[in-house]
Structure 1
Amino acid sequence: MSKIANAFENGTAFIGFLTAGDPTIDKTVEYILAMVDAGCDLVEIGIPFSDPMAEGVVIQDANVRALKHNTTTDDVFDIVRRVREKTDVPLVFLTYINPVFFYGYEKFFKKCAELGIDGIISPDLPYEEKGEISQIAKSNGVDVISLIAPTSSERIKMIAGDASGFIYVVSSLGVTGMRSEIKTDLNAILADIREVTDLPLAVGFGINTPEQAREIGKIADGVIVGSAIVKIIEQHGEDATDALKEYVSSMKKASNE
């Protein structure tokens, strides 16, 4: 059984993302633990990929930096192993399907089960092709997290109907990145999804300020932040621990106000 439900037991969940291997393997372990210490309820760990098409420039650059250090999927699994020695916080991989395919589905998900990965988010895996990994993932106790975008209104019932873990609600069209305002009618989208599922609904894409987290936290079960965290790591490099703790703490607090 995955531990994802635990993330939503203490008010609105704050979910943070970083790219594995940026700036180093050791620092990724340190930064994940720092985020958890500061109040992160679930951590998304990005597996570096050469063509992250759903990502904005901040996360694209993080992928480039990690790959320049030759960060491999096995390195990412080693990060998880080391994190698991210190915490049982829910952990989810965010990865494009290509690295999983080349690693081998059976081998990949067996490793997830061994090391305690609770879920997987794959932005380029269409719902129609989800079956390619869903059974293998399920048999290894890994939830395949479904994404629902503002354009998904006709498909909400289908996508949410067999979702597991939580549902990642995409707040805005386009790629990931920090936005000054979220213009999507999230109330309507969340209401539509809640008609067909009891799973927690977490909103991501564009959220980066406490004010945005406060507003999203009032209507969603979780607030997801990626680019703003990756930007802090970009700016501070190997000295980002204190800045990450301060930021995550403020965002967790705001999400529950």
Structure 2
Amino acid sequence: MQRTSRLDQCFAALKANNRPALVSYLTAGDPNAETSKRLLQGLPAAGVDIIELGMPFSDPMADGPAIQKAALRALENGQTQAKTLEMVRSFREQNSTTPIVLMGYYNPIYRYGVERFLADAASAGVDGLIVVDLPPEHDEELCQPAAQHGIDFIRLATPTTDAKRLPKVLSNTSGFIYYVSVAGVTGVSAPTPERLESAVGQLREHTQLPIAVGFGIRTAGQAATIGRFSDAVVVGSALVDCIEHASTPDEVVERVHSLASELAESVRGCRKGS
């Protein structure tokens, strides 16, 4: 059965306007529940098109130091899967259009109970899942059941994903494909635009899904460069760093939303004249 998801609608509208999406990542519950809720609710007004909300986990192996510390801050302040879903539910009370993708690891979902999690996520207004440690060989565990609940399952492609592996990666992917710009963990090195543009071009030969590029994008200039040839630019660690280096909740909110606005402005203008 064909459906038009929030992600589909978002990318279609942005394509009509000839611009990429700005995708922001924050960890749910970081630095605490109340401030995290303020951050989430203010992202669309700051110019964010799609929100990735991290599900805190004690062993985030694909994440660099900034997001590892964010997960620990959130867990130490009592963040749970149920509280993360409640954040989405609360967000949906005032925003019915901005897509929200939950990103994280399979263990917390498994402990919550897969069917219960998917039902609660769909009810709360979650649009997609990125589960970095669940390969395509285990699609029956979560990917296929997610589709039954109308939740997109977004897969990662990396610089080490070869032509033989790629069809398997793409087979049940929906929403968009997330191209990891550098080999390694999040936030530790900057991608090379020339190599990235070539890699994204090659990936387009195999999929009609929108292609988002993330890992290592920290500045408005980098976001604008990558936005010229991608469908979405993902920024996470730079926003999370704003939380770590702020001293009060108000400063956290101001720093995060200010950087999001700067990134959004650069992404919106990156194809002018093209």
TM-score, normalised to structure 2's length?
Answer: 0.90
Aligned residue among 115, 125, 129 for 2:134: 125
RMSD between aligned residues:
1.5
In structure 2, what residue type is equivalent to 1:197? T
Out of 175, 181, 184, the residue aligned to residue 171 of structure 1 is 181
Q: Mean Cα displacement is larger for which, 22-31 or 50-59?
A: 22-31
1:43 is matched with which residue: 51, 59, 65?
Answer: 51
The residue matched to 1:51 in structure 2 has which SS?
Answer: coil
Tell me if structure 2 keeps the 8 A contact 1:34–1:244: no
Structure 1 residue 41: deviation in Å?
0.5
Q: Is the 8 A contact 2:39 2:256 kept in 1?
A: yes
Partner of 1:254: 266
Matched with 2:115 is: 106
Q: Does 1:91 align with 2:100?
A: yes
The match for 2:37 among 29, 36, 53 is: 29
Q: 2:211 aligns to what?
A: 201
Compute the displacement of 1:153 (Å).
2.3
- In structure 2, what is the Cα distance between the partners aligned to 1:247 and 1:26? 20
Q: Deviations over 1:202-248 (max 9, x none)?
A: 00000001111011001100000110011111112512222222211
Q: What is the CA–CA distance in structure 1 between the aligned matches of 2:115 and 2:31, rounded to whole Å?
A: 29
Distance in structure 1 (CA, Å) of the matches to 2:194 and 2:59: 27
Deviates more, 1:148-157 or 1:107-116: 148-157
Q: Kindly state the Cα deviation for residue 113 of structure 1 after the two structures are TM-superposed.
A: 1.0
Shift in Å at residue 156 of structure 1?
Answer: 2.0
If the length of structure 1 is used for normalisation, what is the TM-score? 0.95
For these two proteins, the number of residue pairs brought into alignment is 257
Structure 1 position 158, deviation (Å) = 2.7
Q: Which residue of 2 aligns with 1:158?
A: 168
**What residue number does 1:55 align with?**
63
**Which residue matches 1:192?**
202
| Structure 2 partner of 1:4 | 7
Check whether the contact 1:161–1:196 (CA below 8 A) recurs between aligned residues: no
**Cα distance change of structure 1 residues 183 and 254 upon mapping to structure 2, 3 Å threshold:** closer
- Which segments of structure 1 move beyond 6 Å, counting only runs of 4 or more? none
Contact 1:150 1:184 in 2 (8 A): no
Q: SS in structure 2 opposite 1:54?
A: coil
Q: State the SS of the aligned residue for 2:47.
A: coil
- SS state of the match for residue 98, structure 1? helix
- The one-character-per-residue Cα deviations of 1:30-50 (angstroms, maximum 9, x if unpaired) are 101211111100101111100
177-186 or 159-168: bigger deviation: 177-186
Conserved 8 A contact 1:178-1:228:
no
Aligned residue number for residue 21 of structure 2: 13
Contact 1:202/1:220 (8 A) holds in 2? yes
Match of 1:245 among 257, 261, 270: 257
Q: Distance in 2 between matches of 1:29 and 1:85?
A: 13
> Given the superposition, is the C-alpha separation of residues 201 and 47 from structure 1 closer, same or farther in structure 2, using an over 3 Å criterion?
same
Instruction: Percent identity, please.
Output: 39
CA distance in 1, matches of 2:84, 2:229: 33
| Distance in 2 separating the partners of 1:161 and 1:197 | 10
Measured after TM superposition, the shift of residue 127 of structure 1 is 2.0
SS state of the match for residue 255, structure 1? helix
CA displacement at 1:178 relative to structure 2: 4.5
**In the alignment, what sits opposite 2:154?**
145
Residue in structure 1 matched with residue 83 of structure 2 by the alignment: 75
Note if contact 2:182-2:189 (Cα within 8 Å) is conserved in structure 1: no
Q: Distance in 2 between matches of 1:238 and 1:178?
A: 26
The letter of the residue matching 1:254 is S
